[in-house]
Chain A
Amino acid sequence: MFHGIDPRSPIPLYVQIAERIRLAIATGTLGSAAPLPSVRQLAAELRVNPATIIQAYRDLEAQGFVEIRHGAGTFVRELAPGRRARERSQQAAALVRKLLADARRSGVSLAELHRALEAELGVKTP
């Protein structure tokens, strides 16, 4: 779930971690009432400051994705219908924005990107 967390990225680590968890909730990898790893466990596993994990969990709580029960842990909340789908489409939009920004930086034109996308999809999907 946390593959590719990048401490060198300008995006703060807590934002990256919260994003991964949001994606896992949106895709159903983490179902309703599923427990998140403890702060201690995840800090040691990702080798990041425990405060970073706490910040990520607090943000997820403020956004309504999880519930922090003191002494018990952090759990995924029951989401309103449509919220998972909405979250997934937001994630998709974010991925496309990143792709377009990368393309611009490396000087790839929109038409070239379009052709590459079609070619890639043509090969990958039956």
Chain B
Amino acid sequence: MTYAIETEHLRYRVGKAFEISALDLRVPTGSIYGFLGPNGSGKTTTIRLILGLLQPVSGRITVLGRPMPAQYARILRHIGYVPEQPHLDATMTVRELLDFQAAFYAQWDRPRAEELVQRFELDPGRLFGRLSKGQKAKVMILLALAQRGELLVLDEPTDGLDPVVRRDILSALLTYVSERGATILISSHLVHELERVCDWIAVMDNGRLITESPMDKIKHGTKRLVVTGAPAEIGNPPFQLLTRESANGAGEYWVVGNWEPDMTTYVESLGASIRDVIDLDLEEGFVELLRGFRAKERAVRV
């Protein structure tokens, strides 16, 4: 497998309060890679490191096969980037922004830009600063797609937008991917939206990567078990025991990762029995992963 983005032992620090440490990300070429994490977990910082906008303390970043930030000028022309906040000149019209951006990119796709202006129902004569939030988001996506990048890096592109705009933007993105086979890294809080489109998921918390895995594996390997008669100490289970709590007298709830159906025999070998195996969707799985990670962090600190 080749990777569109790869980071190794990446470390970055702002003051004493926040640190990204030992970050190893691998974004497979051609994947739609969902980047999840609570506010302040380091997603935007990581994105800025990947784009060469910040300088790491140590570690390596490879983007589209080239070292970042050493070769940022050669890499950036192949990346469409949509930042969290609108970054475009508010005093330019949509048409002026298109012409301005086109001048920077040799591969600029004029027909696609025109088609998207129509599809998104944008008024080319309107000032960017006068556009609604949804229209601004559409302009930013349009500019990123017309660049014909091999890689799109989207920082919360649809968060806070109404469902109609979100639908239009996602459809345009997916059309682009089916035509060009591009790689997309997309960070978002809209877990259900990522659940539809992504084939890889990474979760960050507090500057660290908690998990990076194919979507199928997360979705089908994360379960809530109802267990009775389990001993207090469980050696080295073949699955990941994320959380464990009492179920009000009816045994315990376990949330497990990397679960396979035949692992029931392992639980039974401990003298316990499984009363139910409940499927979790991505949002529940995400919340449980975070809870499990934070509980371990606390245990280490104490």
Q: Do A and B bind each other?
A: yes
Interface residue ranges, A against B (CB under 8 Å): 7-10, 12-13, 39-40, 43-52
Interface residues in B163-189 (C-beta closer than 8 Å to A): 167, 170-172, 174-175, 177-179
Q: Is the interface of B mostly helix, strand, loop or mixed?
A: helix
Q: Is the CB of A44 within 8 A of B192?
A: no
Interface-lining segment among B73-81, B89-97, B193-201: B193-201
Q: What is the count of residue pairs linking A and B with beta-carbon distances less than 8 angstroms? A: 54
Q: Is the CB of B216 within 8 A of A47?
A: no
* Interface bracket on B: 20 to 34
Which residues of chain A have C-beta atoms less than 8 A from B174's C-beta?
43-44, 47-50
Once A49-B197, A49-B198, A49-B199 are accepted as A-B contacts, the answer to whether A7 and B192 lie under 8 Å apart by CB is: yes
Q: Is the CB of A8 within 8 A of B171?
A: no
- State which of A8, A46, A48 has its C-beta within 8 Å of the C-beta of B192: A8
Which residues of chain B have C-beta atoms less than 8 A from A12's C-beta?
216, 219-220
Closest Cβ neighbor of A48 among chain B residues: B196
Once A7-B196, A49-B199 are accepted as A-B contacts, the answer to whether A44 and B171 lie under 8 Å apart by CB is: yes
Instruction: With A10-B279, A49-B196 given, name 5 new contacts (CB 8 A).
Output: A7-B195, A8-B281, A43-B177, A47-B170, A49-B32
Closest Cβ neighbor of A38 among chain B residues: B178
Q: Is the interface of A mostly helix, strand, loop or mixed?
A: helix
Tell me the bound Cα distance from A13 to B174 in angstroms. Answer: 16
Interface residue ranges, B against A (CB under 8 Å): 32, 167, 170-172, 174-175, 177-179, 192-193, 195-199, 216, 219-220, 279, 281-283
Closest Cβ neighbor of A53 among chain B residues: B178
**Which of B197, B220, B281 gathers most chain A CB within 10 Å?**
B197
